[in-house]
Structure 1
Amino acid sequence: MYTITHITKDGLDYVRLKSPNGKTAANICLTQGGRLSQFIFEEVEVISEIKPETYKDNYASSILFPFANRIKDGNYNFDGVAYNLQCNEADKNNALHGLVYNKYFSVVDKHFTSGEATLTLGYIEDYPTTGFPFKYEIKITYMLSSEGIKIKVDILNKDKKPFPFTLGWHPYFTSSNLTESFMDYSSSKCFLQDHQNITTGTADFKMVMPFQVKDKKLDDAYALENNVIKFLTPQYNVIIKSSSEENFLQLYTPNDPNIIAIEPMTGVSDSFNNKTGLQVLNANDSYSLEWNVMIKKV
Structure 2
Amino acid sequence: MLKIESDHFLVTINPKGAELTQITDKKKELDYLWQGTAWKRHAPILFPSIGRSNDDHYLIDQKEWPMPQHGFARDYDWTVVEQTATEITLSFVGNHETATLFPFKYTLQVTYALTATGLNCHYEVINNDQQAISFALGSHPGFNVPLVPDTKFDDYYLDFGEAAELATYLIDPAPFRSGQRGRLALEAGQLALNHRLFDNGLILFDRPSTTVTLRNRKTTDSISLKTADFPYMALWTLENQTEDFLCIEPFAGLPDQYGQQQAINTKLGNQTVEVGQRQQFDYQMIF
Among candidates 186, 192, 196, match of residue 207 of structure 1: 186
Asked whether the 8 Å contact 1:47–1:171 carries over to 2, the reply is yes
Q: CA deviation at 1:18?
A: 1.9
Q: Does 1:142 align with 2:112?
A: yes
Which sits farther off after the overlay, 39-48 or 124-133? 124-133
Counterpart in the other structure of 2:149: none
What are the superposed Cα offsets for residues 94-132 of structure 1, whole Å, 9 maximum, x if unpaired?
x311120011111111123xxxx1111111114233231
**2:203 matches 1:220:** yes
Alignment match of 2:50 (pick from 53, 60, 68): 68
Residue identity in the other structure for 1:202: R
The residue number in structure 2 matching 1:4 is none
**Could you tell me which of 155, 158, 183 is aligned with 2:125?**
155
Residue of structure 1 in register with 2:283 after alignment? 291
**Pairing 1:47-58 to 2, within 5 Å after superposition:** 47-55=33-41
2:196 aligns to what SS in structure 1? coil
1:85 and 1:225 map into 2 onto residues whose CA distance is: 33
Q: Distance in 2 between matches of 1:270 and 1:215?
A: 24
The aligned residue for residue 122 of structure 1 is 91
Moved more, 224-233 or 117-126: 224-233
Query: Against the structure 1 CA distance between its residues 53 and 196, is the aligned structure 2 distance closer, same or farther, given a 3 Å change threshold?
Result: closer
Deviations 1:237-294 (A, max 9, x none): 11111241x5111111223532111111012211855732212222221111111111
Q: Is 1:38–2:22 an aligned residue pair?
A: yes
Alignment gaps of 5+ in structure 2? 147-151
State the shift of 1:191 in Å.
Answer: 1.0
> 2:153 is matched with which residue?
178
Q: Is the 8 A contact 1:83 1:130 kept in 2?
A: no
> Which consecutive unaligned segments of at least 5 residues does structure 1 have?
1-13, 87-94
Aligned 8 A contact 1:165 1:280 in 2: yes
Q: Which residue does 1:264 correspond to in 2?
A: 250
Shift, 1:181, TM fit: 0.7
CA RMSD of aligned residues (A): 2.1
After TM superposition, the score normalised by the length of structure 2 is: 0.83
Partners in 2 of 1:221 and 1:16 — Cα distance? 32
SS at match of 1:289: strand
Q: Give the 4+ runs in structure 1 shifted more than 4 A.
A: 271-274
1:207 positional shift = 2.4
Cα deviation 1:175-210 (Å, max 9, x = unaligned):
332210111234431111222521122112322231
Q: Which among 57, 81, 100 is matched to residue 108 of structure 1?
A: 81
Matched, 1:197 2:178: no
Are 2:139 and 1:169 equivalent residues in the alignment? Answer: yes
